């Protein structure tokens, strides 16, 4: 059976907030794709990642420090890790709000 990765949810260019463990909030806009691995028709692991835009470049570099943050918007909430000034990965479950 062939292994396949399928998109199961897409959020495109939505406003949101990124909150750190100290409660500091940054306004962002983001796009997110949630993926599911399939082996034939048997579902497997899920993951999610996306792009993020900050109001200023200083906020983006501060957010890319490796700490977990809460991303909220577009009808979802998730713990994320900002990987660069424009990319993030979801750590854990993606919750519908």
Q: What is the token pair recorded at 54?
A: 């900050």
Q: Which domain holds residue 14?
A: 3-96
Q: What is the DSSP letter of 40?
A: T
Query: Who has greater pLDDT, 40 or 53?
Result: 53
Q: Is the pLDDT of residue 36 over 70?
A: yes
The predicted structure's pLDDT at residue 88: 97
| Cα distances (angstroms) measured from residue 75 to each of 19, 38, 42 | 16, 25, 27
Other beta carbons less than 10 A from residue 51's beta carbon? 15
pLDDT band, residue 1 (cuts 50/70/90): low
Question: What does each C-alpha distance from 35 to 63, 93, 94 come to in angstroms?
Answer: 24, 12, 11
User: Structural domain tally of the chain?
Assistant: 1
Is the pLDDT reported for residue 41 higher than 70?
A: yes
Q: What angle do CA 44, 83, 23 make, to 5 degrees?
A: 100
């Amino acid at each position: 059976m062939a292994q396949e990765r399928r998109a199961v949810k897409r959020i495109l260019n939505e406003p949101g907030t990124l909150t750190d463990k100290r409660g500091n909030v940054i306004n962002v806009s983001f796009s997110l794709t949630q993926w599911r691995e399939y082996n034939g028709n048997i579902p497997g692991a899920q993951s999610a990642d996306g792009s993020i835009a900050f109001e200023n470049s200083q906020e983006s570099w501060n957010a890319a420090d490796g700490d977990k943050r809460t991303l909220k918007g577009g009808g979802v909430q998730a713990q994320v890790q900002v990987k660069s000034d424009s990319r993030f990965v979801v750590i854990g479950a993606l919750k519908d709000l």
